[in-house]
Amino acid sequence: MRKWFLGLFLLCQVGYAQQPAADFRDHVQPAVFALTMVMLHDVVNPPAASRFYAYSLAGAYEIVAINNRGIARGSSFMKSSPHVVINAKPGSYNYRIAALYCILETGRLMLPSGFMLEEHQEKLLKTLKKEKVKTAVIDSAVAVAKAVALQVVNWSKSDNYGRLSTRLRYTPVKGEAYWYPTPPAYMEAVEPHWKIIRPMIIDTCDEFTPLPPVPFSRDTTSEFYALSKEVYAVSLHPSQEELNIASFWDCNPFAVSTAGHMAIGFKKITPGGHWMNIAGIAAEKAGLDFDRSVLVHTLTAMAETDAFISCWDEKYRSNRIRPETFINRYIDIKWKPLLQTPPFPEYTSGHSVMSTAAARVLTYLLGDHFAFTDDSEVMFEIPARSFSSFMQAANEAAISRLYGGIHYRDAIENGQDQGKKIGDRIVEKLKKAGLQPLIP
Instruction: Measure the CA dihedral 382/241/307/50, to 10°.
Output: 0
* Contacts to another protein from residues 17-46, by CB under 8 A: 42
Q: Which is nearer to another protein, 180 or 275 (CB)?
A: 180
Find how far residue 398's CA is from the centre of its chain: 14
Question: What residues numbered 61-120 form the site for another protein, per CB under 8 A?
Answer: 110-115
CB nearer to another protein: give 111 or 256.
Answer: 111
45 vs 363, beta carbon nearer another protein? 45
Least separation in angstroms between CB 349 and another protein: 26
Q: What amino acid occupies position 279?
A: A
Nearer to another protein, 134 or 167 (CB): 167
Q: How far apart are CA 425 and CA 427, in angstroms?
A: 5
Question: Does the bond joining 166 to the residue before it have cis omega, within 30 degrees of 0?
Answer: no
Q: Shortest distance, CB of residue 111 to another protein, whole angstroms?
A: 7
Distance of alpha carbon 117 from alpha carbon 226, whole angstroms: 49
- Binding to another protein (CB under 8 A) within 163-192 occurs at 163-166, 168-171
The contact mask relative to another protein for 261-300 (x = CB under 8 A, - = no) is ----------------------------------------
Nearer to another protein, 143 or 153 (CB): 153
Kindly state the helix (H) or strand (E) to which residue 256 belongs, with its residue range: strand 255-259
Residues of span 135-164 touching another protein by CB under 8 A: 161-164
The least CB distance from residue 42 to another protein, in Å, is 7
Q: Residue 183 — φ and ψ, nearest 5°?
A: -65, 160
**Shortest CB 184 distance to another protein, Å:** 19
Nearer CB in complex with another protein: 11/168: 168
Please give the size of the binding site for another protein, defined by CB under 8 A: 17
We find the least distance from the C-beta atom of residue 130 to another protein, in angstroms, to be 30
**Bridge-partner residues for 387, per DSSP?**
372
- Tell me if 41 sits within 8 A of 52, measured CB to CB: no
Q: Please, what's the b/e burial string for 131-150 (b: 16 or more CB within 10 A of its CB; e: otherwise)?
A: eebeeeebebbbbbbbbbbe
Nearest alpha carbon to residue 336 among 255, 226, 239: 255
Question: Which spans of this chain sit near another protein (rule: CB under 8 A)?
Answer: 42, 110-115, 161-166, 168-171
